[in-house]
Structure 1
Amino acid sequence: MAHCFTSRTPLTPGRRFYKCSKPKIKNCGFWRWEDSSLGNSSIEVNLLKSKLEVATLKMENLRESLNTVKIERDNLKKKLENLESLNYFEVSLH
Structure 2
Amino acid sequence: MSESTCDTMMTCFCGEMARCFTSRTPLNPGRRFYRCSKPKIKNCGFWRWEDSSLENSSIEVNLLKSKLEVATLKMENLRELLNSINIDRDNLKKKLESLQSLNYFM
TM-score normalized by the length of structure 1: 0.59
1:45 correspondence with 2:40: no
Which of structures 1 and 2 has the bigger CA Rg? 2
Q: Which of residues 9, 26, 30 is equivalent to 1:31?
A: 26
Tell me how many residue pairs correspond in the alignment: 64
Q: What is residue 76 of structure 1 aligned with on the other side? A: 85
Structure with greater helix percent: 1
**SS state at 2:89 partner:** helix
Runs of 5+ in structure 2 lacking a partner?
A: 1-24, 34-48
Instruction: Find runs of 4+ consecutive structure 1 residues off by over 4 angstroms.
Output: none
Cα root mean square deviation, aligned? 1.7
Share of identical aligned residues, percent?
9
TM-score normalized by the length of structure 2: 0.53
Q: What is residue 93 of structure 1 aligned with on the other side? A: 102
